[in-house]
A and B are shown apart, each in its own frame.
Chain A
């Protein structure tokens, strides 16, 4: 496992906020030269710590007014293979994330929709219609905050 120092952690925090900035600009903020910053970013990327980049879009401005977190139970285990169920759920465009979990549910899903009526359509026609889909719990997202995580 890769060892991080304080500067690595500052770089990760800064890139998690804004991955569009150049190594030069980032280095200036941290008192590092451009090549030194670039080498550190390269090392973090090679070690798999930085996995890639993600665009943050404003869902509401793009017409997706509703985000729902779903807990889904498999109806009768064994009847449908997990792989089939996972593949079918992942193929639904409105489903952003699918996670296999241990607990009161078997899967947790993050679903976006235009509005509640659209969500109901996705839930009834696409998710609950899947062979193997059992009990479902829906919680409609009100607010969301992402934190930098344990980076010093």
Chain B
């Protein structure tokens, strides 16, 4: 069978064997968690508790500061012990609420509502919003915002992202295998909320068992389709996935809704299902703790806000000194200064490298070999952007594609001169934003 894909892209080793066969297991309640106030794209949530308050698991601890913002909940029961700056998985210090466990792990009421499908659309949207659901693939866009598209941009297709093209990560893969039906429930809900006629699930070909399972489950449902996709990075990038799964091209600078599509990660679909049926807030997620030096690589169902150090300890620690700790996957994830960071709703993995693998190579002059141009999934000239940024020529950088870059990192992956293209392009994006503000 010819697998669908997108133009460009690379084929890194998938490295998923470390944790792929480990079933999802629940992490015992940690001693403390840190609920970050910025787990999403948009305004930072405002705390609604103060130090000393007792909170239950699932209780609201921060409220949205605007429409594009998010409600945050306590993920364990206990006492608020500090509100201040903590290490964020993106490597920066950021405001968060520290909750110290009382050991009871008492939850707020989460009543089952088996007839959830017949609820009104408004109620469905409210429940998603109240549960603080955001995109769990990494970017963390608030889901309730995506579910309220303008009336002139009707959505006819929901695309569920089960690609997981980042090397090492297996959390979505395990969800596909173990929560397949819940994923489909979430998909049905999404279709109902935005009035989409079709639901598509894109899964990369390196997960044949997941493809087979899902295909079996949708066999009698004409409006649902499982699309096996070629193993190619960045297959899970929004625009690339939409093109591969539906053949539609999102216009540059536009959103998927411009072509009538809404994309959600499979983990988000499960969160939506739980939010609607049980009114369960997004307080836990599956995260892969993996890498060649991790003693017991696992896929852990862990409370949001768990410290990475606690996750690793549960996985039996490491067999060799850690050289690099990556929050997320190795292509787009963030290298952490320490394991004191607390996971957020978008934390799909903790990948650990030994010291040798962590060594970064020396940057050389560009040979103009054009590999970056050839594989750029956005059809840009990465070396042209980077060079323009280096010489501070922002106009040239924009012409070479500065604003279209999705920072997937494929260019830097193939560069024989080891040029840190993404870093240069990111610098350019920041400088460009500054220049625009000044205007």
A binds B: no
List residues of chain A with CB under 8 Å of any chain B CB: none
